[in-house]
Amino acid sequence: MASVIKIPCSSANIGPGFDVIGLALSLHLEIHVSIENKPSSQLPFNCAITYEDQSKSVEKISLDPEVNLITRVALYLLRCHNQRAFPVETKVHIINPIPLGRGLGSSGTAVVAGVMLGNEVGKLGLSKERLLDYCLMIGTLHAVVKSVCAFTNDTTERHPDNVAASLFGGFVGTYLNELKPEDVARKEIPLSEVLPAPAGGVDTGIRPPEPPMAIGHYRKFNWAPEIKAIAIIPDFVVPTANARNVLPESYSRADVVFNLQRAALLPAALGSSPPDPDMIFLAMQDKVHQPYRKTLIPGLTEILQFMTPATQPGLLGICLSGAGPTILALATERFDEIADRIIAQFASNNITCQWKLLEPAHDGATVTYN
Ligand SMILES: Nc1ncnc2c1ncn2[C@@H]1O[C@H](COP(=O)(O)OP(=O)(O)O)[C@@H](O)[C@H]1O
Ligand SMILES: N[C@@H](CCOP(=O)(O)O)C(=O)O
């Protein structure tokens, strides 16, 4: 059997939609999977990983199937369905163009890749809606990092915005269900039980907890076809965990109302053709996460202040992508000019950047067979 799994990256929040709104973008993680039907395998958990880094990231990704985030998530899904390892001689070749730790949802994309891979090789036949539950049990990497590094018992702060965009594609609004009391206990299970610590290639035989049904949901919004996404990607990492740690525990009523007013406008603003720059610019303002994250991203304050539709023709709106440091500028034209101005601002803080012109990826995660 040979197949290719493709998963788009994401830009979460889009300004005011913190932990709620996500956009899948046309930069795809690819996994080429083949299973050779042999009677037995010497491979750990029957799986060999190869990794092609197209993202120019400094971090080295583990090729140990028990440690690598994608195969670890796939093993979680398999073990929930009484399969202790991959099918014999599974080869997993990962091609990754998504820069790590930059706010383009690399960890969420990897988690989605893991559930798609487990579903595929285990022939589990789970719907994408059910796979979202598994993604949400894992949370995204701000929790996974803790479990990899320290194996703490922290429970996960779950947000469906980036994983739902990568899984379902397009421009999505997401929400978490209020759970029944018995399911709340299951949702609060420590991550270390969902993704147990690597045990040196030994199968502990423990069956991990399955997610409650229908934890998270999504709704697709329209996207005006004229609108393109410019991602300006600074050459430094902001781990999502750090970018969440700088946020306050509570907010003023005025700030919450400010964001609600704009988040309510955002789907209509970005779905209407022709796009109205003033409406989009207003609808992308935020007081819940960006003001606090400025401390981690030199130049963010200035960029969000001076880049407006009045000062820059073609620009519609601007925000931090996910937890940053990538800047997402939405525009209809003059893409090079917009990118150059933002790159110049970062350069004045001695930060270099790359940039990409992207479009919404409407299909989400897909599997094709060779
Ligand atoms: N394809 C991948 N394979 C394995 N691990 C990955 C992959 N993509 C991302 N990760 C992990 O996710 C981390 C980045 O997660 P995070 O801090 O949430 O940033 P991002 O905004 O890119 O999602 C990386 O440091 C890496 O450990
Ligand atoms: N809503 C989350 C989204 C994190 O996205 P990522 O792309 O940075 O992983 C947040 O803002 O923390």
For 278-291, write each residue's pLDDT tens digit: 999 999 999 999 99
pLDDT single digits (tens) 32-90:
999 997 888 889 899 999 999 999 888 999 999 999 999 999 999 999 999 999 999 99
pLDDT single digits (tens) 91-116:
999 999 999 999 999 999 999 999 99
Q: What atom in ligand 2 is closest to the CA of residue 105?
A: 7
Q: What atom in ligand 1 is closest to the CA of residue 68?
A: 4
Angle in degrees, CA 33, 38, 39, rounded to 5: 135
The whole-angstrom separation of Cα 63 and Cα 69 is 10
Between 26-30, 178-182, 279-283, the lowest mean confidence (pLDDT) is in 178-182
Q: What is the distance in A from the centroid of ligand 2 to the CA of 296?
A: 14
State the DSSP H helix or E strand holding residue 322, giving kind and residue range, or none if neither.
Answer: none
Which ligand is closest in space to the CA of residue 240? 1
Residue 290 Cβ inside 6 Å of ligand 2? The answer reads: no
Q: How confident is the model at residue 302 (pLDDT cuts 50, 70, 90)?
A: very high
| Nearest protein CA to atom 3 of ligand 2, as residue | 322
- Kindly give, in sequence order, each residue whose CB lies less than 8 Å from that of residue 205, ignoring residues fewer than 6 positions away: 84
Which ligand is closest in space to the CA of residue 143? 1
With 90 as the cut, is the pLDDT of residue 139 above it?
Answer: no
Residue 216 Cβ inside 6 Å of ligand 2? The answer reads: no
DSSP annotation of 1: -
Q: Is CATH 3.30.70.890 correct for 225-358?
A: yes
Structural domain spans, the chain: 2-218, 225-358
The whole-angstrom separation of Cα 223 and Cα 22 is 12
The closest alpha carbon to 326, from 99, 97, 126, belongs to: 99
pTM for the whole structure:
0.93
Query: Is 314 in a helix, a strand, or coil?
Result: coil
Fold entry, domain 2-218: Ribosomal Protein S5; domain 2 (3.30.230)
With 90 as the cut, is the pLDDT of residue 243 above it?
Answer: yes
Q: What integer is the mean pLDDT of 307-329?
A: 98
